[in-house]
Amino acid sequence: MTDNLDQLCVNTIRTLAMDGVQKAKSGHPGMPMGMADATYVLWTRFLVHSPSDPQWPNRDRFVLSAGHGSMLLYSLLHLTGYDLPLDELKRFRQLDSLTPGHPEYGLTPGVETTTGPLGQGFANGVGMAIAESFLAATFNRPDFPLFDHHTYAIVSDGDLMEGVSHEAASLAGHLGLRKLIYLYDDNEISIEGSTDLAFTEDVLARFRAYGWHVQEVDGHSLDAVDAAIRAAQAEQDRPSLIACRTHIAYGAPNMQNSAEAHGAPLGVEEIRLTKEALGWPTDEPFHIPDEALAVFRHAVEQGRTAQAKWTDLLTRYRVAYPEEAVLLDTLLAGELPEGWQEALPTFDAGDGPMATRKASGNVLNAIAPVLPTLIGGSADLAPSNNTQLKSCLAFQCGAEGGRNFHFGVREHGMGSILNGMALHGGLRVYGGTFLVFSDYMRPSVRVAALMGLPVVYIWTHDSVWLGEDGPTHQPVEHLAALRVIPNLVVIRPADANETAAAWQVALERRDGPTALALTRQSLPVMDESRRDAAETVARGAYILADASGTPDVILIATGSEVALALAARDLLTQQGIAVRVVSMPSMELFDAQPQSYRDGVLPPDVTARMGIEAGVTSVWHKYVGTAGDVLGIDRFGASAPYKDLMKKFGFTPEAVAERALRLLGK
Amino acid sequence: MTDNLDQLCVNTIRTLAMDGVQKAKSGHPGMPMGMADATYVLWTRFLVHSPSDPQWPNRDRFVLSAGHGSMLLYSLLHLTGYDLPLDELKRFRQLDSLTPGHPEYGLTPGVETTTGPLGQGFANGVGMAIAESFLAATFNRPDFPLFDHHTYAIVSDGDLMEGVSHEAASLAGHLGLRKLIYLYDDNEISIEGSTDLAFTEDVLARFRAYGWHVQEVDGHSLDAVDAAIRAAQAEQDRPSLIACRTHIAYGAPNMQNSAEAHGAPLGVEEIRLTKEALGWPTDEPFHIPDEALAVFRHAVEQGRTAQAKWTDLLTRYRVAYPEEAVLLDTLLAGELPEGWQEALPTFDAGDGPMATRKASGNVLNAIAPVLPTLIGGSADLAPSNNTQLKSCLAFQCGAEGGRNFHFGVREHGMGSILNGMALHGGLRVYGGTFLVFSDYMRPSVRVAALMGLPVVYIWTHDSVWLGEDGPTHQPVEHLAALRVIPNLVVIRPADANETAAAWQVALERRDGPTALALTRQSLPVMDESRRDAAETVARGAYILADASGTPDVILIATGSEVALALAARDLLTQQGIAVRVVSMPSMELFDAQPQSYRDGVLPPDVTARMGIEAGVTSVWHKYVGTAGDVLGIDRFGASAPYKDLMKKFGFTPEAVAERALRLLGK
């Protein structure tokens, strides 16, 4: 009887989750048990995927936003035939297993994104759906629907409480992402107890207000879930939310509907009782009935068939649209079209002073034509961040080939959506806001770094020198706070040419995000920097101006402070001091250089060193050493024209020269 | 004619805003011009305040969440008689003026909170309304409505797009904060252009879904706004949102409804045209008609009368409820009841190992009875953060005297609401989540530090040693990233007694926030630390165990790594190495000590120093110097039992001892 077989399958998921958490003595069994039914329906009746090729470009994307329910995902990946042996499920949450506490992208085959920090997966899915629709608009041709897949997610109460999900949901509704279908695990239980303690909003009405198609079903009724997903697929204008009313830890006689089942093993006795109630063998953990496995494993053959059909489509596409196909191959491989660097502009000192944010805008617009899937935008600061691609349209509902994104005042949503776009493949993405508001998107930046996604952040107004907007808008701690995120490269270019080089580094990077910290105010274009900015910036720090012999003092500066260091050098040289100026656009890139290169730039025997940067000083001691000095700003800023602030904070050539003399004991 | 006088008053606000921005050559004239009508109604007909005493405890609170429209607020503060001379309006955005680019709490009389980063003010207001209702429930008595005021805010499209406002709005609806009334400047313009580019949700339906009372009015109709505020005040169960349909830069012939009027001066010519259209003198910037000033200045006398009535009430309250009155005086002065420290527990080594999060929970529960307005909660992690006050109820609608807050999975909202609660006065507040999720609330932490608010953060699970949850939940860069925020004190106690001392430091701090970083895992209670933990922790670092003579090496550790340092010392001592162990719970507190104290703890001539902390190393070079070493974790963590991770990352006594020997060249 089909019904019984279905139940057998569902209970296989349920018991694997129980057993995995119990064996690990840690984890979250309640959610997988509650959502086993709905997820079973999705994975066996709707999800188009190919377990033998998790990279198939046109697969449906599945996101477990409620990442704490990772055993649900691991169970399904194993059961449907991904390269995830049962032994790995038995090593849940152990060192070097493929089944960490929360799903990790790049580690486990079939895991589409790293989740756990709530709300991130919700917004990642929005980014994936955006990517699909952009690639479809760009590469599909009549009778060639190369990109035509859905993006599904399972989202929890916690996901829907997090602000980032509100931001992403509002934007998804605005953009009319009709192929986005989310199952909401509406179990009314969170860690502190009933969701009634803090979460009594009308979720469906809220999503309707965002412009979503909404449904509510019994999450334990396979038929109801089936019908709801069908209706969601049929919806032509809006993303879909299907609220599945479920019971957490469904099937556990004493733990069902209990907050205790959220984040701890059920215990040996409760598992025994649950298995007895399910008619399950109690003496064999990780038991998988053969009949159930056979049902799940259909996915392998179904996937191969679907993928073969698509590969055939692509083969015919190659003939009909050879140029597009070549480009597509490059992009799907994560590569950039050959020779793209030739489009990078260079700047002359004679061009006059230019803010690095403006230089960045010029670079973006120069390379946009040769990088047709370079897309991005700003959190409502495009005119200030210079993120607009002037030759391109906006990405909007009905104009999904547009390359300019209006993210709205939603920095966090932007960051997490960018991650989803990057995860999808085929795109290179960027997003802009003021550097101070990198704080708003920081959780998404962290996950991008953890996943190794090549996202580019355009963070302008990068110091107190933005002036009049005052301390709420003036970053002082942000460069330091970003530099400590592992695998994030922060570049603060000193002029227009360093900015072009920074873009080259950022786009050639494939294993992690890059942040560009750019000025509001104009900076001179330095002659010195022009010759080989691409190479010097890639090394993180380099000698920009040197003394003829051994330097008495080294001035190390970043961004807008490099010109200041050069001016101070002129004053010091007049007094007979031998000064080396080092431009250090990126500490991370410099730290990655061989010791010999680093010692060449900062010779160990020159201990009179001064770091100069309009921000907090704590990260500089590594470079200036015990005998050195740092000119920074270890306090919040102030509202005033920036030249007044430079005087106030001692960032004038005279003040720097004087301080350097003091350091030299003169 | 009243109508004309009203218009004269409204246009006075409008023209002051135009002139202020023009003189500064920088700022946002459009919003003040658009919201001049509605704000005029609010301030002259409803707002109960006392310009001659901006600290009156029962004043209505007014929050300009759209802080970029600061000239609106400055104009009203000047006009209604606060101590803000017209000359200060002429010095808008200049160095050391009282009129910075965005409103700054503590600088300008009458500014209730620092705004500018969007969404913050929205959530601050929710916190203020919570504080009012808690104090009312706690101190009001029949016929003694000591606390009985409204909280108003002006919020913008940008505020409503930010996730933090969604979080706070959902919680405000849940809590039924009926005295919260927000005017939404629905002008359909943001920086990139029409809000149609990114923001087409049905805002009113969304707020209705959150449980708010919603209205929509013509924001330029004084009568309509007046009626809507009345209706909002009459609402007995829900917070209110009044959408005011307005035109940005209302009255400017060429700039009205234009995104260009958002963030730049209108220009001399457009101002002339606007003033001509308004029948305003064009040759006298900052013109204030006497009749208009007279209307606004009624606020002074009205405020004095209202406050006198309240003072009389308080006088009678002192007689009727003398104990409550004494307590109230203490709390409103921002002080703690005398002798409260005696309630702080001490812990014995014999008590066995204890996680510092558990010690923190014990401390909280021990001091809760003597600190009756110490209130707080967690972002749905109370059982893990140990934030629950066991003797107290939950704060809920109808139970506003409850002291346990269920913030939901809304870290950012929690942070900004805590700020609002602290701003209100009378309370000491705390909020908890995992340390890794401090990222989610970072923008609110920054503003707390900027405003100097004494908020306490309980951030548990403070290192990779949280184990199985894996890298998404394991902080590595967070201690470093938090330490760089000016005016935030970060304390990572090494055991239960240091935890009690950390709480004392945090609660005795009145001019800024304090973060407690606490372990998930158990730590031994150290004998050494018990003697004078209160004093030693307050100094940031101290000698916990010393060599008999000059130490060969100094091990400097924080939190859970202190016990490790002690164990390594034992091994090294066996080999004849003289080891000093320094416990450094707080770098900020240590940095604030006199040089002599610092040199005593870290003698300059002992250069063999090793920092030990389970996190990124970059902030440690300042303490270990060029010749020192740091044992840290400069990468993301991994999912596994924590003892396995300690081996993997070299955090065992043997590995530390070996590394120290290497540092000593042995």
- Phi/psi of residue A348, nearest 5 degrees: -105, 145
User: Which letter does DSSP use for residue A45 in this model?
Assistant: I
Model confidence pLDDT, tens digit, residues B627-648: 999 999 999 999 999 999 999 9
**pLDDT tens-digit profile of B56-98?**
999 999 999 999 999 999 999 999 999 999 999 999 999 999 9
- Core vs surface per residue A329-354: b (16+ CB within 10 A) or e: eebeeeebeeebeeebeebebeeeeb
What ipTM does this complex have? 0.97
Cross-chain Cβ contact B450/A472 below 8 Å: yes
State whether B93 and A468 contact (CB < 8 Å): yes
Residue B390: CB atoms within 10 Å: 9
d(CA B219, CA A274): 60
CB contact under 8 A, A406 and B481: no
Residues 53-72 of A with CB under 8 A from B: 67
Angle A163-175/A120-139 helices, nearest 10 degrees? Answer: 20
**What backbone phi and psi angles, to 5 degrees, belong to A350?**
-65, -15
Are A469 and B24 in contact (CB < 8 Å)? no
Q: Distance between CA atoms of A210 and B207, rounded to whole angstroms?
A: 11
In contact, B421 and B127? CB cutoff 8 Å: yes
Angle between helices B163-175 and A163-175 (to 10 degrees): 110
The residue with tokens 């995902």 is A73
- Find, among B607, B651, B599, B605, the residue nearest to B628 by Cα: B607
Kindly state whether A304 is in contact with chain B, defined as any CB-CB distance less than 8 angstroms. Answer: no
Average per-residue pLDDT in chain B? 96
Residue with tokens 């194993």: A78
Residue B149 pLDDT greater than 60, yes or no: yes
Distance between B518 CA and the closest CA of chain A, angstroms: 19
CB–CB of A226/A245 below 8 Å? Answer: no
Partner A contacted by B611 (CB < 8 A) = no
- Give residue B1's pLDDT: 36
Nearest residue on chain B to A394, alpha-carbon basis? B197
Contacts of B27 in chain A (CB under 8 A): 468
Model confidence at A399, pLDDT cuts 50, 70, 90, reads: very high
Chain A touched by B625 (CB under 8 Å): yes
Tokens 């949850």 sit at which residue? B469
Joined together, the tokens standing for residue B168 give 């706070």
Tell me the average pLDDT across B24-44. Answer: 96
Instruction: Check if the beta carbon of residue A171 is closer than 8 Å to that of residue A411.
Output: no
Across the interface, of B197, B449, B468, the residue whose CB is closest to A406 is: B197
Task: Give B352: exposed, middle or buried? Use CB within 10 Å, 0-12, 13-18, 19+.
Answer: exposed
Q: Is the pLDDT of residue B224 over 80?
A: yes
Nearest to B159 by CA among B36, B63, B42: B63
* Residue partners of A130: CB distance under 8 A and separation at least 6: A175, A177, A395, A417, A420, A421
A:B CB pairs within 8 Å: 335
Alpha-helix runs per DSSP H in A56-119: 70-79, 86-90
Whether A199 sits inside 8 A of B621 (CB atoms) is no
- Partners of B449 on chain A (C-beta within 8 Å) are 636
pLDDT tier, A530 (very low <50, low <70, confident <90, very high otherwise): low
The DSSP symbol for A465 reads G
The domains found in chain A, sorted by start residue, are 5-303 (3.40.50.970), 340-529 (3.40.50.970), 534-663 (3.40.50.920)
> Best mutation site among B70, B157, B196, B206 for testing chain A: the one with the most A CBs within 10 Å?
B206
The H or E element that residue B323 is part of is helix B322-332
Question: Is A411 one of the annotated active-site residues of the chain?
Answer: yes
pLDDT reported for residue A2: 46
**In this complex, is the C-beta atom of A251 within 8 Å of any C-beta atom belonging to chain B?**
no
Active-site hit among B88, B411, B498, B561? B411
End-to-end CA distance of chain B: 93
Partners of A443 on chain B (C-beta within 8 Å) are: 437, 439-440
Task: Pick the residue from chain B with its C-alpha nearest to A643.
Answer: B95
Contact B473 A447 (CB under 8 A): no
pLDDT for A531 equals 66
Phi, psi of B228 (to 5 degrees): -65, -40
Q: Are strands B404-406 and B522-523 parallel, antiparallel or unpaired?
A: unpaired
SS3 content of chain A, % helix, strand, coil (to 5): 45, 15, 40
Query: Is there a contact between A209 and B211 if contact means CB atoms under 8 Å apart?
Result: no
Residues of B with Cβ-Cβ distance to A101 under 8 angstroms: 468-470, 472-473, 639
A136 CB-near residues (< 8 Å, 6+ apart):
A145, A146, A147, A148, A400
Instruction: For residues A525-549, give the mean pLDDT.
Output: 86
- Is A446's Cβ below 8 Å from some Cβ in B? yes
Quick check: A1 pLDDT over 50? no
Tokens 């998988």 correspond to what residue? A288
Residues of A in contact with B480 (CB under 8 A): 480-481, 484
Which residues from A are below 8 Å from B443, CB to CB? 437, 439-440
User: Is B645 at the interface with chain A, CB within 8 A?
Assistant: yes
Contact A102, B473 (CB under 8 A): yes
Q: Verify whether the Cβ–Cβ distance B116 to A470 is below 8 Å.
A: yes
Q: Cα(B620)–Cα(B592) distance, rounded to whole angstroms?
A: 16
Please give the DSSP secondary-structure letter assigned to residue A60.
Answer: P
Other Cβ atoms less than 10 A from the Cβ of B330: the count is 15
- pLDDT of A296 higher than 50: yes
Alpha helices in B190-289 (DSSP H): 203-209, 222-234, 268-278
Helix (H) or strand (E) holding B88: helix B86-90
How close B81 gets to chain A, by Cα (Å)?
24
Query: What is the pairing mode between strands B579-583 and B542-545?
Result: antiparallel
Residue B621 has its nearest CB partner, among A190, A192, A622, at A622
CA angle A444, A448, A452 (to 5 degrees): 175
How would DSSP label each residue in B452-493? T---EEEEES-SGGG-TT-TTT--SSHHHHHHTSTT-EEE--
Catalytic residue among A162, A411, A588, A613: A411
Could you tell me which of A126, A131, A145, A122 has the C-alpha nearest to residue A400? A131
For residue B488, the chain A residue with the least C-alpha distance is A635
Residue B194 contacts A, CB cutoff 8 Å: no
CB contact under 8 A, B163 and A412: yes
Which B positions 520-579 lie with beta carbon below 8 A of chain A? none
Instruction: Mark which residues 264-303 of B lie under 8 Å from A by CB.
Output: none
Distance (Å) from the alpha carbon of B323 to chain A's nearest alpha carbon: 33
Q: What is the DSSP string of B33-81?
A: HHHHHHHHHIIIII----TT-TT-TTSPEEEESSGGGHHHHHHHHHHTT
Inter-CA distances, A372 with A112, A361, A376, A386, Å: 24, 16, 12, 18
In whole angstroms, what is the distance from residue B461 CA to residue B519 CA? Answer: 5
pLDDT in tens, A403-433: 999 999 999 999 999 999 999 999 999 999 9
Residue B7 vs residues A225, A269, B30, B78: alpha-carbon distances, Å:
59, 76, 18, 18
* Percent of chain B topping pLDDT 90: 95
Convert the pLDDT of each residue in B185-221 to its tens digit: 999 988 889 999 999 999 999 999 999 999 999 999 9
Determine contact: B340 vs chain A, CB below 8 A.
no
Q: Could you say which residues from 118 to 137 on chain B have a Cβ atom under 8 Å away from some Cβ of chain A?
A: 118
Looking at the predicted structure, is the pLDDT value of residue A597 above 70? Answer: yes
Radius of gyration for chain A, computed over Cα atoms and rounded to the nearest angstrom: 28
Nearest to B73 by CA among B62, B86, B60, B57: B62
CA B63 to CA B121: how far, in whole Å? Answer: 6
